[in-house]
Amino acid sequence: MSQVPVTVIILAAQRTGVVNPLAERAGVSHKCLVPICGRPLVEYVMETITTLPAIKAIRVVLEPEGQQDVDKVLEPFRARGIAVDLIDSDPNIVESVIAASKGEEGPFIITTADNVLLTQAGFEQMRDALGKTDAALGLAAREQVLSAHPEGQRRFYQLRDAGYANCNIYALANRKAFAAAETFREGGQFMNNPGRLVRAFGLFNILLMKLKLVSIKGAMRRISRRFGVEIEAVVFADGGLAIDVDNERTLSICEQLLPIRRPTDIRA
């Protein structure tokens, strides 16, 4: 069966008014340009996506002042025949995604520029979900994440069946699915902001999850009802997909894992 053509949105903006410490330490203008194993973070994401079939376009979202430097890194990937555009980011992540959609129907797959361990297999699992649901989010269970690296993640959403970590990859099948994106209108980082979590998902749903009274499937059913769209969790067997470059610790972890997971993509 042929793959559904998708537009990929890569979120690369830095938080407004915040100097990213990894970028500052590396002496680069932007976090997505921080080098790891000889290449900027965003190159690993681009390498994964531009070597896949049925990619209609790639839209990289970041603040205008960072675009000139980032565009130099993106330019070689345009030679692979895929349109790669830069989109001005908005302080609100939902507005950034809406801008990157350009009013199109979809489908879209959304990820982040620091998702250096993203694999083609993981991407294709998200693409496959587009035929079954309006929106999907990628997760990995605690056991698989810690198997990939014992310090890969320190916080998990603990439900009845397992603890889960977010993998920073999402799929939106159509315009209706943008209702699910409203979950992030106040930003992500739910583990660090319980109030934001409650406002996004509803107090009763959060209590059920906190008390471990609902499984991941049950949680998705409840969240689907809240937003009026079908939302599915794609639970990856590959726990490494939950590890991206957030800080010095995860940068070091990804430096250890990249030569193992992607030996042909690193540069000495």
The CATH number for 50's domain is 3.90.550.10
Q: pLDDT tens across 164-173, in order?
A: 999 999 999 9
Q: Is residue 159 part of a domain?
A: no
Query: φ, ψ for residue 173 (rounded to 5)?
Result: -80, -25
Domain annotation covers residue 62: yes
pLDDT for 197-239, tens place per residue? 434 444 434 444 453 547 889 888 888 887 888 989 999 999 9
Please give the pLDDT value at position 188: 45
Count of the separate structural domains present in the chain: 1
Name which residue leads in pLDDT, 74 or 178.
Answer: 74
Three-state secondary-structure class, residue 85: strand
Average of per-residue pLDDT values in the chain:
87
What is the rounded CA–CA span in Å between residue 237 and residue 215? Answer: 17
Q: How many Å apart are CA 60 and CA 67, to the nearest integer?
A: 9
Q: Which two tokens stand for residue 147?
A: 């198997």
Pairs from 119-123 (Cβ < 8 Å, separation ≥ 24): 119/48, 119/238, 119/241, 119/261, 120/48, 120/51, 120/52, 121/238, 122/167, 122/169, 122/236, 122/238, 122/241, 123/48, 123/49, 123/52, 123/169
Q: Which pLDDT does position 186 carry in this prediction?
A: 45
Amino acid (1-letter code) at residue 175:
R
3-class DSSP assignment, residue 166: strand
* DSSP calls for 143-158: HHHHHH-TTS-S--EE
DSSP class of residue 14? P
**Per-residue pLDDT tens for 22-72?**
999 999 989 999 999 999 999 999 999 999 999 999 999 999 999 999 999
Which residues span the domain enclosing 27?
Answer: 6-139+166-178+230-261
Q: At what angle do helices 67-78 and 41-50 cross, to 10 degrees?
A: 30
Within 10 Å of residue 185's Cβ, how many Cβ atoms? 13
Q: Give pLDDT, residue 53.
A: 97
Residue 60 β-bridge partners: 10, 86
In a domain, 266, yes or no: no
Cα separation, 117 vs 230, whole angstroms: 28
90 domain-assigned = yes
Residue 121 lies in a domain: yes
Asked, for residue 267, whether it belongs to a domain, the answer is: no
Q: How high is the pLDDT of residue 149?
A: 98
Range from 8-12, 92-96, 180-184, 220-224 carrying the lowest mean pLDDT: 180-184
Q: Is residue 237 part of a domain?
A: yes
Structure tokens, 23: 């970028």
Q: Which residues of 240-260 are buried (b: 16+ CB within 10 A; e: fewer)?
A: bbbbbbbeeebbebbeebbee
The mean pLDDT value for 72-82 works out to: 97
What gap in Å lies between CA 160 and CA 166, rounded to an integer?
A: 17
Sign of CA dihedral 62, 63, 66, 72: positive
Asked whether residue 206 is assigned to any structural domain, the reply reads no
Task: Report the C-alpha dihedral over residues 66, 38, 48, 171, rounded to 10 degrees.
Answer: -50
Give the bridge partners for 110, in sequence order: 9, 170
Determine the average pLDDT of the residues in 110-139.
96
